[in-house]
Structure 1
Amino acid sequence: EVVNESNESYSLAISADVEEGDRPLYDKLTVIVRGEEDKYSGPLCGLQKINLGSFPAESTRSLHMTLTLPVDAGNELQELAVRLKFHLYQVQGEPPGSGGEAPPNPVVPSYPGQPEEPPADEDNPGSYADPELPVTGTQLDLLLPLGLILFLIGLLILGSAKKEQKK
C-alpha cells in the first residue's frame, strides 16, 4: 500500500536489482506488478524504472507484486537462492501512457489519408521510381538439368561397374 500524506501529487517508479545470490535464478523469475491495472508483467530482470503512475495528494493506493518461477525452469535452478532489492522512487515527469491519470483534454490525431508517393530519382535506377526487383537465379535453369544428367551418368557407371564385378 502506498500512502501519499503530502499536499502534492507525485509519480513513483520501481526497479529491482540482485543484492546477492545466483544470477541465473534472477534471470528466470517473472514478476507482475498490479495497481488499478497491470503496470508491468515480464521478467524480473526487466523491472527497471517502471512507472507506477501518479499518486494524488492525501490518497492511498494498493500495489500488488506476484513473483513466480516458470514451470519450464530446469533442474539447474534447484538449490539456488537470490536476495533482491526493490527500489521505489519518485520521478519528476510521468511519461505518456504510463498508467497515471488521464490528461484533462486529450488530443486525438486526425486521419492523415493516403501517404504521398516518394519522388522519382531518374539518376538512380532501382529507386522508388523503379520498384521492380532485380532478376536473380537465372543460371539455375541450366544447372538443374546439367546436374540431373551428371547424376544419371554416375548411376550408369555404378551399374556397369557392378555388372563387371559379377562376371
Structure 2
Amino acid sequence: MCTFIPTADIADIYGNDVLSCDTQMRDFGGKTDFAGRIVTIRCFQDNQLVKEMLNSPGEGKVLVVDAGGNTQTAMVGDKIAKSAADNGWRGIVVNGAIRDSAGIAELPIAVKAIGTNPRKSAKDGLGVVDASLTFGGVTFIPGHTLYADSDGIILMPEPLMN
C-alpha cells in the first residue's frame, strides 16, 4: 500500500529531478488524491482490456490507460469505474476520454482523463497490457509508483515514506 504524499511536496523534495506528467488532466472521480503501483494498458478506441482489468482485484493499484490522447471514444464509463472501486483499485488515469462523468463523480475512486465523450468504444480486446507508456513527457512503467492529486501526476520508481 502506498501512503499518499501531496505532489507539490514531492516536487519540493526532488526539485528538477521530479518526474511530473505535463499532460493537463481533469479530475472526474469522487476522490482526487491517490497513490499506487502502476498497471498499464495501451489501447485505441477499444476498452475491452480496460474493462477486464478493472473487473479484477486491484489491490490498491492504479491503472494507466494510454488511448493516444484520443477523445473520439470513451475508455471508461461509470459501470467500469464502479467495478474498479468495488475491486480495490485506487485510481485510473486515462490519456483519452471517459464518459458518464456525473456518475463517476459519485464513486469512491479517483479518475483523471483529458476529457469526456459520450461515444462508447469497441470491445474487440485490442491493445497491450503492462507495456511502458510515454506521454506528458514521462514514461509510466508497470510496477513503479504514481502519486496524483489536483495539482498533477508524479512518478517514482519506489513508494515514498512520509
TM-score of the two chains, using structure 2 as the length reference: 0.22
Q: Which has the higher contact order (CA 8 A, sep 6+)?
A: 2
Q: Higher Cα Rg: structure 1 or 2?
A: 1
TM-score of the two chains, using structure 1 as the length reference: 0.22
